[in-house]
Amino acid sequence: MSHVSPVKDLSPGSDPGPGRTRPDACPGALRAHQAADGGLARVRAPGGALSARQMRALAAAAAELGDGHLELTSRGNIQLRGLAPGAEPLLAARLAEAGLLPSTTHERVRNILASPLSGRDGQGAWDVRPLVTDLDQELRARPELAELSGRFLFTVDDGRGDVAGLDGDVGVLALDLGRAAVLLSGEDTGLRVSVEEAVDTMLAAASAFLAERAARGSRAWRIAELIAELEDGPARILTRLADRLGRAPEPGPALVVRPRQHGPVGSIRQRDGRVAMAVLVPLGRLSAQQADILADAALDGGDELRVTPWRGVVVPDLPGDGTGHWSSTMDSHGLVVDPASPWVGVSACAGRPGCGKAMADVRADATWVTRRADEGPGTGLPVHWVGCGRRCGRPRGRVVEVVATGAGYEVTRDGHVLARTGDIEETAAAVDAARRDQ
């Protein structure tokens, strides 16, 4: 399967790639990363699933222990920033009471992305929600898999192709007739398994990665890093996995999965007549008050929320006659429910003051530029604002990047600098041109 070359993961706790010389320091719920604005904790929510009560617990923790906001990540997880020294034990107790910390040994490896509308709108081959639950339970039940890094990512795609292209290490992509394609590092392996075999297969693939890593004396955190170290890395992992499954890859052309540029926004009619409301959170930064509003909406539906990898939240199972009220409420509190909003496709790293390496308050600048837009989502490419050349949080696929330099911004696309700007007006014009002129 061909796909866009992966972008190096340089978010908190990482380093530039293969050839690791230190243990994984990825933040979790029990171990915070020390950022410029205080501790940063990351809470894993497999498949992005939260109840109203859990969302309220996170909002309360952010308000009382952190900076008052939740950050939604590109893996459907939730971060709390601005934690005081020593706040981790109190945060852990709150999370455990809310059912958000079912394991202390495996809490950082519960990175599972799943199609957020699966089982609701009829677009997938089958409902993957039960697989996410089973995968999380079985992952926590296997002590050896606690050795996975906090970066290792599972993807469970219901066939629509929305999460399969999002840089997963191990994944399944639902096909017809109750079968699934097995993916390694975003590539179709040719292996096909049944729905019933999917969870065991994904865990076997993770074990095959750990076995090959140990055999090579590597400290790679992800399959793509092991591939970069070993020219025959993919074949070795696939051979181990095929041996465990007792089958060979099927002949035929490989499936091609492309990164999804952005997630759903707006009201989506479900098969049962109810409505799922897909809400975009500008720059992925959710205030405690906004989180409480989402929890209120969830209680009007099926008491479920799905955090998406596009820094949004899906509120499913709402009554069809209540969407007008909730659309108005979300909009009045700064949450986006209009698919034509200029916020669609806009993302940013933490920037100043949260990151000590950042050269600008990129969130403030991105907000200023986006709010002055008089049209929809650029009618073109997504745009990602970053505070330095590390480009943290960059989305997959083609993206216009706005990189702070200390003297302004560089606007880049496809690896080429299109403009160097010295003030925000120039930056706004350059970003608009780069998004539209492809």
Sign of CA dihedral 213, 27, 395, 78: positive
Q: How far is CA 277 from CA 66, 132, 196, 377, in A?
A: 28, 21, 30, 19
In this structure, are residues 182 and 205 in contact, taking their beta carbons and an 8 Å threshold?
Answer: yes
pLDDT score recorded for residue 1:
30
pLDDT tens-digit profile of 114-147? Answer: 999 999 999 999 999 999 999 999 999 999 999 9
What is the spatial distance between Cα 16 and Cα 357, in angstroms, rounded to a whole number? 15
- Residue whose entry in the numeric block shows the structure tokens 């007739």: 177
pLDDT tens-digit profile of 236-274? Answer: 899 999 999 998 999 888 898 888 878 999 999 999 999
pLDDT, tens digit only, all 438 positions of the chain: 322 222 333 333 334 454 566 678 789 999 999 998 999 999 999 999 999 999 999 999 999 999 999 999 999 999 999 999 999 999 999 999 999 999 999 999 999 999 999 999 999 999 999 999 999 999 999 999 999 999 999 999 999 999 999 989 999 999 988 999 999 999 999 999 999 999 999 999 999 999 999 998 999 999 999 888 877 767 889 999 999 999 899 988 889 888 887 899 999 999 999 999 999 999 999 999 999 999 999 999 999 999 999 999 999 999 988 789 999 999 999 999 999 999 999 999 999 998 989 999 999 999 999 998 755 444 589 999 999 999 998 988 899 999 999 899 999 999 999 999 999 999 999 999 999 876
Domains, the chain, ordered by start: 101-245 (3.30.413.10), 266-332 (3.90.480.10), 346-436 (3.30.413)
Residues above pLDDT 90, as percent of the chain: 79
Return the exposure string of 200-230: e unless at least 16 CB atoms fall within 10 Å of the residue's CB, then b. ebbbbbbbbbebbbeeeebbbbbbbbbbebb
pTM, two decimals, is 0.92
In this structure, are residues 132 and 126 in contact, taking their beta carbons and an 8 Å threshold?
Answer: no
- Is the bond preceding 316 in cis, omega lying within 30 degrees of 0? no
